[in-house]
Amino acid sequence: LASRDFHPEDTIIDIKGVKIGGENLVIMGGPCAVESPEQIDEIARLVKASGAQVLRGGAFKPRTGPYSFQGVGVEGLTMMAEAGKRHGLLTITEVMTPEYVDICAEHADILQVGTRNMQNFDLLRKLGTCGRPVLLKRGFSATYDELLNAAEYILAGGNKDVMLCERGIRTFETYTRNTLDLSAIPVLQSLSHLPVISDPSHGTGRRELVEPMAKASVAAGANGLIIEMHTDPDNSMTGDGVQSLFPDQFDNLLKDLEKLAPIV
Ligand code: PEP
Ligand code: MN
């Protein structure tokens, strides 16, 4: 079902009038984690003012260590839904277990599957019937074929609204957190009709690389970007402050991107 042979035209996902896929460029911006109502509201205001369409933020965080901040949980879903509504933004949040799919679907417009859960098949099956579009991140050691097979689980359940996300893979290089695989963008678009979103934040792990890799992703044909932005990255509650843009950097990036492709 994910294959271009099966479905030659680009899939366009329409969420409350925001179209994802085809010639459209969607920008999702926001913090790694929802931290407080004030934090997410202020970031939502800035994301909207810069011209992005979707507010990102994790209420449930998949952390490498069990003692690290795990996200504010269900309350974060409400904080984010309110901020999104107040500022006229769609919202995307990560869901980690099948049990939480329904509550996340109640609060968010798009559900995100993180790189660590790309092959959580029970989760993928549940997302097949969740009634919300899904952004499926590529596992950091997954091949294109494995990513497309993971998407197939969601599609097979009856959910046609799946986006693929390149978020960097693990290579021998340690300067960057991950290696953003730009080739994934045109390859996935040739193999599949699903929209392809690039995540230059996790793809590099370094703030100064987000802008060039965001532009490179759009030049490579990405249908959208998901970018971390924080008003106080040095004091953010996850380690991802180092890759989060400051609001003015996010704003300038979107102005530059507008020159490459209209953000619609
Ligand atoms: C995130 O988007 O904050 C995240 C945890 O992403 P990934 O699953 O790509 O690491
Ligand atoms: Mn993050």
Say yes or no: CB of residue 189 within 6 Å of ligand 1.
no
Candidates 63, 116, 123, 137: which one to mutate for ligand 1, based on the most atoms within 8 Å of Cβ? 137
pLDDT at 3 exceeding the cut of 90: yes
Q: Facing residues of 94 across strands?
A: 112
Q: Are 11 and 195 in contact (CB under 8 A)?
A: yes
Counting residues of the chain whose pLDDT is more than 90, the rounded percentage is: 98
pLDDT at 261 exceeding the cut of 90: no
Q: Does domain 22-60+70-258 have CATH number 3.20.20.70?
A: yes
Using the atom order of ligand 1, give the atom closest to the CA of residue 165. Answer: 9
Whole-number pLDDT of residue 144: 98
- Indicate the domain borders of the chain: 22-60+70-258
ipTM above 0.95, yes or no: yes
Say yes or no: CB of residue 170 within 6 Å of ligand 1.
no
Q: What is the pLDDT of residues 12-35, one digit of tens each?
A: 999 999 999 999 999 999 999 999
Whole-number pLDDT of residue 264: 85
Categorize the per-residue pLDDT at 120 as very low, low, confident or very high, splitting at 50, 70 and 90.
Answer: very high
Categorize the per-residue pLDDT at 156 as very low, low, confident or very high, splitting at 50, 70 and 90.
Answer: very high
Q: What is the dihedral of CA 240, 205, 151, 95, to 10 degrees?
A: 0
> In 57-168, which ranges are continuous DSSP H helix?
74-87, 101-107, 121-127, 144-156
Say yes or no: CB of residue 167 within 6 Å of ligand 1.
yes
